[in-house]
Homo-oligomer: A and B are copies of this chain.
Amino acid sequence: MNRRNLLTLLGLGATAMTLPQPSSALPANEEDAQAILDLVTAYESAWNTSDLDVMGALYTEDIHWVNVKGMHWQGFGAVDKAHRVYFDMMFRGTRQDLEEIESITPVAPGVVIAVVRWLHGPFTAPSGDKVPAMNTRMTLVLTKASGHWKIAHGANIEVDAGAARFDPVNGAAMKG
């Protein structure tokens, strides 16, 4: 995602006036916009270099994470441990590439909710099964404290490409 698209997403770009503005949208400034983009790309980079120290530095102390299998990890220690175990087990050297920051929704001063679409590369599960590449949509609640944006919550959902055709709002089969 380029900078102009990000600013547009946050209602700061040149085309902002032509976009519908939700009634509760709060002002965001370019510095916050850049910091939010930097946070998401730092997460991407941490994944793709399998650097769990860098990844952990992006978490708040009371981060919660619900992973793609519906596991719920509560607090920094649990979220950090679970990711380290899974990187050791199957994710080290795999890729998770940012396809799009689909939305950034401010909900309070210093709190935004981003929905991000990833392309999760293929990997081998502990069972030996080869898991093909998949898209996921991740909800990230990002909070600003002491001038720094961090990840307060993640919830990651595998995109069912077959079902997506019949999405009542966005599905190709529902529009044709």
Q: Which A residues are closer than 8 A to B by beta carbons?
A: 20, 22-25, 60-62, 64, 66-75, 78, 81-82, 85-86, 102-103, 105, 107-111, 113, 115, 117, 126, 135-137, 139, 141, 143, 145, 152-153, 155-160, 163-164, 166-170
Contacts of A23 in B (CB 8 A): 61-62
The docked-state distance in angstroms from the alpha carbon of A117 to that of B70 is: 10
Report yes or no: A160 in contact with B70, Cβ–Cβ below 8 A.
yes
Q: Given A72-B102, A105-B62, A108-B108, decide whether A169 and B78 contact each other with a Cβ distance below 8 A.
A: yes
Q: Can you name 8 A-B pairs with beta carbons within 8 Å? A: A22-B75, A23-B61, A24-B62, A70-B137, A70-B163, A107-B111, A139-B155, A155-B155
